[in-house]
Amino acid sequence: MSPAPVLKDQERGFLIPIGGAEDKEADRRILSRFVELSGSENGDIVVIPTASRLDDTGPNYLGIFDGLGIGQVDYLPINSREDCDNPSFFDVLDRATGIFITGGNQLRLSTILGGTLIAQKIRRCNAAGIPIAGTSAGASIMSEHMIAGGDANSSPSEDGVNLAPGLGLTNAAIIDQHFTERHRLGRLLSGIAYNPFLLGIGIDEDTGAFIGPDNMLEVVGKGSVTIADAKGLTYSSMGHVGHGEPLSLLGLKLDILAEGCRYDLDKRQSFPPESTTE
């Protein structure tokens, strides 16, 4: 699945993968900025809590976004593939100025939403300029190739990651979350070793990667974003190592970006915070 095409005179909306455990009680910088991008008091955010099995996930985010000054907020109780055909849900998405996908289990997300009209609608909304944010599982599902699992705290290996189809909001990168906290560098590198064209984006908790329509990423939050670029590999052993054996990846490039740093996904180039560039 690929991102929906952008129509003439339109601009794609922001994609905002969040590494999970975002601040919901203090200054709430990440969620506050998403509310601003969604129109603040003139906006209408739609929450998709499908990844979570907890009944209070949707209502909890209603209270959070209402407290941040959004004009209107709704949630879609999508718990089955049959729910993805509910015409009233499409009416709600037609009014959306922002879409938020909660955390939980990304395979629950992909198996319920994958290949449905709701998934197509979400991609079209983003192509029409609607910002889409997702936290934890909601971040991973954004990519075309989704990280569904893998061994933490281990070296990259031939079977170090499990991939599944995502929503396809971006086909330029694969995204992992709870990144530093759960020691997921090895599985992210395993993922991009399968296809060195892809960028690997690992996002720490309480950290968001705000990716604009120009494919410029900016880091907001308390942690960092790790970007792994395998395009310049001079050697990879992926094609001939045995099952479970560690990989050799020569020429790999890593950038570690804290708040204010930016990254051009098209040019694969990183930039320091603007205040330090003089």
Choose the catalytic residue: 38, 136, 140, 143.
136
Evaluate whether 4 touches 122 at the Cβ level (below 8 Å): no
Of residues 22, 144, 158, 205, which has the active-site annotation? Answer: 205
Give alpha helix (H) positions in the chain.
Answer: 29-37, 57-67, 87-95, 106-113, 117-127, 137-140, 185-194
Helices (H) and strands (E) in the chain, counts: 7, 17
Quote the tokens at residue 195. Answer: 């296809």
Marked catalytic residue, from 22, 38, 178, 190:
178
CB-based contact 138:31 (threshold 8 Å)? no
Distances (CA, A) of 66 to 25, 60, 95, 132: 13, 10, 17, 17
205 noted as active-site residue: yes
Q: How far apart are the first and last CA of the chain?
A: 41
Residue 38 designated active-site: no
Q: Please work out, in degrees rounded to the nearest 5, the angle formed at the alpha carbon of residue 155 by the alpha carbons of 151 and 160.
A: 40
Q: Is 237 a catalytic residue?
A: no
What three-state secondary structure class fits 148?
A: strand
Catalytic machinery residues = 136, 178, 205
